[in-house]
Amino acid sequence: MRNVLAENPSSGAIATMSGNKDLKGHKLLLIVPWDPPEGYIEDLHKTFPGLEIVLSNWDTWKESTLPPTITDEDWKSVTILLTGPKFPTKEAAPKLQLVQLQSAGANYILDNPLFKDTDIAFCTANGVHGPQITEWVIANFLAFQHRIPQFLENMKQHKWERSWNDSDTQDAVNQRVGIFGYGSIGRQIARVAKAIGMEVYAYTNRPRPTPESRRDRSYIVPGLGDPEGVLPSKWFSGTKPEEVHEFLSADLDLLVLAVPLTPQTKGLISAPQFQTLRGKQTYVVNIGRGPVINTDDLITALNEEWIRGAALDVTDPEPLPKDHPLWDAKNIIITPHVSGNSTGYNHRLMDIMKINLGRLSEGKDFINRVSRERGY
């Protein structure tokens, strides 16, 4: 379905980074498989009266093509695009200036000519996942700590098995969480972890030695996260194996992997790193991407009890085959890449879109812009 929701009242040259308060001459194409929040389009009309808006209800994650209702003439005049993993060619959309992705990850755009061979700004939905993924991380860690999986199994068998041993459950107070990838998700994890009494160590690929360098400049759900970067009691950084080793050697009770998948992070945690974690029997959580962990080495680490356990929302391979040995590893919790699901997702995504429209109108750079150098 294609809906033209506002027509640009006049044609003319498009103001770019010098500012264009009304966004006169701009055309926004929203390709989403749901209706925008109530009142959202009307609010855009009031804020940017010169903006033409076209809505196409189409799921680019499930469909193999772009929506057929969008004509060649539409593509020729589109300047701003909100989409999933499907894109026009640069020749088909010659006026395109901004692509707002529906996802926080950007690994699927890195080899696309529209990203690789142009200077079009691509922005992610980074920041939309913080609340729900944090809840998933903390819920699974506490479930393991309090032996919830075992009690659920007992419940299926109608088995009342109570322990009177106070030392069989370790609460979170004074435990240390190491957050590998201190972005928007990591910062919200830090906020909640601190609230339940944990100490936070942060790891970033680039050094953050000053208060200014530790600030979060991506999208932040109001009132959440760690905008000023003040929650970690210690910061680590780097990309060299010895720098990673220093972080993993810091007596971590919980390691949360929240890094994007890049050539540098693929296989980041394998046998040598699991051996490093062995001293504290760290509990490992992965909500980044499956290939960040070497799966065979993870199975060994679990079954040989180098680590206490693991909770995975992502796996390698994915989907995980029914007969894969990871399912039967010791102390494992696996969910099918659902930790980012939330009724708040679409609202936060559209909030990011409006913020970036505002920045375009003011001639400012965008939030959540993907770096062509770093690949995220």
Per-residue pLDDT tens over the stretch 126-165: 999 999 999 999 999 999 999 999 999 999 999 999 988 8
- Find the mean pLDDT for residues 226-246: 96
Count the neighbouring beta carbons within 10 Å of the beta carbon of residue 352.
Answer: 24
Three-state SS at 103 = coil
Q: How far apart are CA 247 and CA 369, in angstroms?
A: 28
Q: How far apart are CA 145 and CA 168, in angstroms?
A: 9
**Helices within 88-198 (DSSP H only):** 113-116, 130-145, 148-156, 184-195
Which pLDDT band, with edges at 50, 70 and 90, does 4 fall under? low
- Find the mean pLDDT for residues 340-364: 96
Residue range 19-43, pLDDT digits in tens:
799 999 999 999 999 999 999 999 9
Which pLDDT band, with edges at 50, 70 and 90, does 54 fall under? very high
Q: How far apart are CA 194 and CA 199, in angstroms?
A: 6
In this model, does residue 273 exceed pLDDT 70?
yes
In this model, does residue 13 exceed pLDDT 70?
no
Residue range 300-330, pLDDT digits in tens:
999 999 999 999 999 999 999 999 999 999 9
In this model, does residue 260 exceed pLDDT 90?
no
Peptide bond into 232 cis (omega under 30): no
DSSP conformation class of 216: -
First to last CA, the chain: 32
Instruction: Describe the crossing of helices 184-195 and 130-145 by its angle, rounded to 10 degrees.
Output: 50
**What tokens appear for 74 in the block?**
């539409």
Give the model's pLDDT for residue 18: 59
- Find the mean pLDDT for residues 45-71: 96
Which residue has better confidence, 5 or 180?
180
Collect contacts of 210-216 with beta carbons under 8 A, ≥24 apart: 216/183, 216/184, 216/187
Distances (CA, A) of 60 to 34, 109, 180, 258, 340: 12, 14, 30, 25, 18
Three-state SS at 199 = strand
Residue range 161-219, pLDDT digits in tens:
998 888 888 999 999 999 999 999 999 999 999 999 999 999 999 999 999 999 999 99
Convert 218-239 into a string of H (helix), E (strand) and C (coil). CCCCCCCCCCCCCCCCEEEECC
Which pLDDT band, with edges at 50, 70 and 90, does 71 fall under? very high
User: What is the rounded average pLDDT for all residues in the chain?
Assistant: 93
Q: What is the DSSP string of 39-94?
A: THHHHHHHH-TT-EEEEEE--TTTSSS--TTS-HHHHHH--EEEESS----TTT-T
**What tokens appear for 219 in the block?**
């999208």
- The pTM for the full model equals 0.86
Q: What is the DSSP string of 299-334?
A: HHHHHTTSSSEEEESS-SSSSPPTT-GGGGSTTEEE
Give the model's pLDDT for residue 126: 93
Give the model's pLDDT for residue 40: 97
| Number of residues that make up the chain | 376
Query: What stretch of H or E contains 352?
Result: helix 345-362
Give the model's pLDDT for residue 14: 45
- Find the mean pLDDT for residues 222-232: 97
* CA-closest candidate to residue 203, choices 240, 178, 226: 178
User: Residue 329: which region, alpha, beta or left (left: phi > 0; alpha: psi -120 to 50)?
Assistant: beta
Give the model's pLDDT for residue 19: 74
In this model, does residue 10 exceed pLDDT 50?
no
Q: What are the structural domains, with CATH classification, of the chain? A: 2-128+344-362 (3.40.50.720), 130-334 (3.40.50.720)
Give the model's pLDDT for residue 9: 34
Residue range 83-98, pLDDT digits in tens:
999 999 999 999 999 9
Give the model's pLDDT for residue 375: 82
* CA-closest candidate to residue 360, choices 98, 9, 100: 98
- Where b means 16+ CB within 10 Å and e means fewer, 90-99 reads bebbeebbbb
DSSP conformation class of 100: E
- Find the mean pLDDT for residues 349-358: 97
